[in-house]
């Protein structure tokens, strides 16, 4: 039986007196694409930050590749290969495309930096055309490509994508999900955190729906879409 790459058991966290995650259970298998769906305020980003060591764990357990990383410092989490591409891209606007990508290999992937750069430019030819351009002058879609490319420079074993389609035009949304499908085909494990339900379910192996800091549904996209009750209650479909 395969062991989950990421295994989250009863995870609780929050900010100050506010508890946001109220016992989250989920897992991601090696090479699997998992969609995490839910409305604003459901706790999705807090989950990402907690997994990455940026928000303190209050209870529960996080295992990555069989190792307990609960409460581990974010730098060590990165060294394990759990890499997050944050919501809102958060590129360094006053650095060039090349410099942003180089920073992706600061903690992990340094030995293969030149090879990984070539792979990123092959995946995102538009970035190769803008190597010396300041990241802050790129379009929204190009900045999202840069953010994902920077994550790939860290040689992720699991890539968390937090709202990668946010703020993009419909055409760029299509392009972005096409790129995520490419990552899936390459065998990279992806946790896709999105509000774009339809396209997320099109490329996901499994899906979770989060509401009020808890998982309300876990199963295949087909199971989720076949239930009128679930679709209306949690997806507004």
Quick: pLDDT tens for 209-229.
Answer: 999 999 999 999 998 888 777
* C-alpha dihedral (23, 29, 33, 37), degrees to nearest 10: -10
Judged by DSSP in three states, 153 sits in coil
Res. 1: pLDDT tops 60? no
Res. 176: pLDDT tops 90? no
Q: Is residue 10 part of a domain?
A: yes
pLDDT in the model for residue 96: 95
Q: Is residue 56 part of a domain?
A: yes
pLDDT in the model for residue 13: 96
What pTM did the predictor assign?
0.91
Query: Which residue in 205, 181, 220 sits closest to 33, CA to CA?
Result: 205
Q: Is residue 18 part of a domain?
A: yes
pLDDT band at 165 (very low <50, low <70, confident <90, very high): confident
Q: Which residue has the higher pLDDT, 183 or 7?
A: 7
Q: Is residue 209 part of a domain?
A: yes
pLDDT in the model for residue 234: 63
Could you tell me the residue range of the domain that residue 43 belongs to?
1-81+188-237
Query: Which residue in 175, 162, 170, 200 sits closest to 52, CA to CA?
Result: 162
Number of domains forming the structure of the chain: 1
Q: What is the pLDDT of residues 102-126, one digit of tens each?
A: 999 887 878 888 899 999 999 899 9
Torsion region of 134: left, alpha or beta (phi above 0 gives left; psi -120 to 50 gives alpha) = beta
Q: Which residue has the higher pLDDT, 132 or 167?
A: 132
Judged by DSSP in three states, 192 sits in strand
Q: Is residue 175 part of a domain?
A: no
CATH number of the domain where residue 46 is located: 3.40.50.300
% of the chain with per-residue pLDDT over 90:
65
| CA distance linking residue 14 with residue 21, whole number of Å | 6
Please state at what angle helix 97-104 crosses helix 140-152, rounded to 10 degrees: 30
Q: Is residue 93 part of a domain?
A: no
């Amino acid at each position: 039986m395969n062991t989950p790459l990421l295994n989250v058991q009863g995870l609780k966290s929050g900010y100050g007196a506010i508890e946001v995650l109220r016992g989250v259970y989920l897992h991601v298998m090696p090479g699997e694409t998992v969609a995490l769906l839910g409305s604003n305020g459901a706790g999705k980003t807090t989950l990402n930050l907690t997994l990455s060591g940026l928000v303190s764990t209050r209870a529960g357990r996080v295992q990555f590749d069989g190792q307990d990383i609960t409460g581990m410092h974010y730098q060590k989490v990165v060294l394990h290969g759990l890499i997050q591409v944050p919501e809102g891209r958060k590129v360094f606007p006053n650095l060039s495309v090349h410099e942003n990508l180089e920073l992706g290999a600061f903690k992990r992937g340094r030995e293969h930096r030149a090879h990984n750069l070539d792979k990123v430019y092959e995946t995102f030819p538009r970035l190769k055309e803008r190597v010396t351009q300041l990241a802050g002058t790129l379009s929204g879609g190009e900045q999202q490509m840069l953010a994902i490319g920077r994550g790939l420079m860290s040689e992720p074993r699991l890539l968390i994508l937090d709202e990668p389609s946010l703020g993009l035009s419909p055409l760029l949304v299509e392009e972005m999900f096409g790129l995520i499908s490419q990552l899936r085909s390459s065998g990279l494990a992806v946790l896709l955190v999105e509000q774009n339900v339809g396209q997320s379910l099109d490329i996901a192996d499994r899906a979770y729906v989060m509401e009020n800091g808890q998982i309300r549904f876990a199963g295949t996209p087909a199971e989720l879409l076949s239930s009128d009750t679930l679709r209306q209650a949690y997806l507004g479909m």
